[in-house]
Structure 1
Amino acid sequence: MSAATLASITGAVTLVLSALLPFVIRPLLVRLGIMDVPNARSSHDRPILRGLGLAVLLAMAIGGAFGVSQLITPTGTGWQLLAVVLAGLLAAGFLGLGEDLKGLSVAVRSLWLLGIAAASAGCIAWIATRTPDASFSWVLALDARALPVWVIVLLCVYAVFFISSYINVANFMDGLNGISGFHGVIAGVTFAFAGWWVGAGWLLVAGTVVAAGFAGFLPWNLSKPGAFLGDVGSYLLGGAVAVTSFAALMTAVPLLATIGPMVIYFGDVAVTLVKRVRAGHRWDEPHKEHAYQRIQQLGYSHVQASGITAICTLATSLLGLASLFTSLLGTLVLLAAGLVVLIIYLALPRLLPRRH
């Protein structure tokens, strides 16, 4: 079976399950009383069911497991990378489920996030350094097996902070209907294309599973009465995107292509937190000061504000993918262009007209 055919099948299975499993999960969440009650961080004004990300998690687990089973060969390691990505996103999702059900202290949550990130990074690095066709690519691919130990260590340290941070970032950015679903679809399609282009079948499958999982959730999120991913879904999203990104980086995908889908999210959270700290506020206090929230406060609907964020994410993702076809100079130009998109996005709350 070709990688494209396998990706199509796993994507279809994941999409169907993600769209249908809420019929089973939703009544369970209602009985447990898992509701999102409006607070200082909320952009909605009534209690809404949350935790439907559990359905997305189960759909991605089943679709991903099928993909792993079909990629297993005596000499191949693609299935191992896909298995690590699957394990990482599931671990992140179940951590979020624990937060939804009973809450976790900041210390406990942070330790688990670092543990998930460290385990994922270590496994990916170990596999990559033992894979004949794996390489690390800032711009031009380098044989991962020939990298000095200190470079591997630095990459793992980068990955630990990158993965654990992005899971938090995805959670911070999950504040409007549609925003996380759109993000998951764009990131997944970006990784799938990169995998197809560099011939990494496991990445094509991984990206397709991520995109399909969150695409199946969108109708439940956008239709009335609506439902939220909850922490299980936002942690799942962050884990899926970040772990896949690092694994892609270690298998010949240029750096910009691996981080393109995350530029807007990282930028929004980083700039907002810096502004709040400089203003004397606690960084972890609930608030509605992110760029996407301020756009919505101008009178734009959830879908419109989420769509604007998604368009900017799509732009940085396409710029990242363009690095697949450029040299060092072209990569630097694309990096500058991505930063321009981020600056424009952050300025939109001041540039867009207010709607009444």
Structure 2
Amino acid sequence: MSSLSVLLKFLKGLLLSLSIIKEMSYFFSFLAIVLSSYFYIQIAEKFNITDVPNERSSHREITVRGLGIVFVIPVILFFVQSGFSYPFFMFGFILAAGISIIDDIYTVSSKIRLFIQIASVGFLLFELAVPNESFYYLTFLLILGVGIVNGFNFMDGINGLTGLYSLISLLTLIYINQLVILFIELDFLILMVLGVLIFLFFNFRKKARGFSGDVGSVGIGLVLCFFIFQLIFTTNDWRYIFLFFVYGLDTLVTIVIRLVRKENIFEAHRKHLYQLLANERGVSHLNVSISYGIAQILLNAWIISYREVVDFVFFIPFILTFILTVLLRIRINRESLLPNNKI
């Protein structure tokens, strides 16, 4: 046997060993997230960290709150396993997750939470080394980032919605990362998928075992904001923001309606389209969540397939989705669109 053959076999064996180590790393990460979730449920039940339904809730059973801690664990695992990558993002993430955990247990002022979220997005932008652009451009990025985070927070209201939508977003980003353009470490994406799958095991049920709480919705919102900004800055293509179109559309339309009705947009309510479907029409939580997921999958497929298109054609599905959303809202509850003095 030639020395070259021996060397090639050695290298092949080394690569195989490295792949096994990587798979074992995922296995132990998965196990750590599972154990953390079970441990948290026990703690939450013992100390009554639960979500008690009220007239503005979309559920009827007392459920563990803050199970979104399973979104935090993968971020910490990646940070450690990667040799402490993205330290500024990580610092901002811990700030946001920390205040959200406190808010899930006690009540934290909305002003304090907003201040922490702004600081967290600021650290995120600093991590991504955003070019030294104008004050207005940086302000726009900051507002957009805080908007994405709060969008995920506002949309967290029924079983399966946060988990399924996040899973679809992550799988789409993995596809783009591996087959279109490399913009982030694959390990980070995979670890987040593991966390979301475990969360779905407890949440994607007719009677959910636990809800994400602010720590989950804010946490996953911040991570996905980090991913999408990294993708946009890498490709210099802002149209990738439409990967969050379904969530963004429901959030923006609801905010505009509530502003017209002179309501406090930070107070709990049941005016989102998904809430109207679940509460006004009685559509099951899981079916609503699946519908939102399918809608975003179709739009994501369009974005990837027509990313080279630069004319009006690219925007047609998003315009149609907007029109259908408004028409559906009118059909479900026309009064919810009118100012209070017009009802």
TMscore range, shorter length: 0.7 to 0.9
**Relative contact order (alpha carbons < 8 A, sep ≥ 6): 1 or 2 greater?**
1
| Cα distance change on mapping 1:115 and 1:212 into 2, 3 Å | same
| Cα distance change on mapping 1:288 and 1:158 into 2, 3 Å | same
Q: How far does residue 328 in structure 1 lie from its aligned partner after superposition?
A: 1.9
1:1-356 pair list within 5 angstroms: 14-66=29-81, 68-69=82-83, 79-80=85-86, 85-125=89-129, 149-150=132-133, 155-200=137-182, 202-223=184-205, 224=207, 226-252=209-235, 254-257=237-240, 259-297=241-279, 298-324=281-307, 326-329=308-311, 332-349=312-329
- How many percent of aligned residue pairs carry the same amino acid? 21
Structure 2 length normalisation: TM-score? 0.81
Structure 1 length normalisation: TM-score? 0.78
Residue ranges of structure 1 left out of the alignment (5+ in a row): 73-78, 130-148
Partner Cα distance (1:203, 1:342) in 2: 33
Over the residues paired in the alignment, what is the CA RMSD in angstroms?
Answer: 2.8
Q: How far does residue 227 in structure 1 lie from its aligned partner after superposition?
A: 0.8
Q: How far does residue 247 in structure 1 lie from its aligned partner after superposition?
A: 1.6
| Cα distance change on mapping 1:86 and 1:211 into 2, 3 Å | farther
**AA matched with 1:117:** V
CA contact (8 A) 1:296 1:302 kept: yes
Residue ranges of structure 2 left out of the alignment (5+ in a row): 1-14, 333-343
User: Which residue number in structure 2 is paired with residue 76 of structure 1?
Assistant: none
Question: What CA deviation, in whole Å up to 9, does each residue of 1:235-260 have, x standing for no partner?
Answer: 11111111211122112263223x23
2:263 is paired with a residue whose SS is: coil
Question: What CA deviation, in whole Å up to 9, does each residue of 1:155-180 have, x standing for no partner?
Answer: 53332111112211111100000000
Partner Cα distance (2:112, 2:276) in 1: 31
When structure 1 is superposed on structure 2, of 12-21 and 99-108 the one drifting more is 12-21
**AA matched with 1:219:** F
| Cα distance change on mapping 1:266 and 1:107 into 2, 3 Å | same
**AA matched with 1:122:** F
CA contact (8 A) 1:89 1:237 kept: no
2:184 is paired with a residue whose SS is: helix
Partner Cα distance (1:10, 1:269) in 2: 37
**AA matched with 1:335:** F
**AA matched with 2:34:** A
| Cα distance change on mapping 1:263 and 1:323 into 2, 3 Å | same
When structure 1 is superposed on structure 2, of 338-347 and 174-183 the one drifting more is 338-347
Q: How far does residue 220 in structure 1 lie from its aligned partner after superposition?
A: 0.7
Question: What CA deviation, in whole Å up to 9, does each residue of 1:257-302 have, x standing for no partner?
Answer: 3x23311111111111211221232222321110011111212111
**AA matched with 1:294:** L
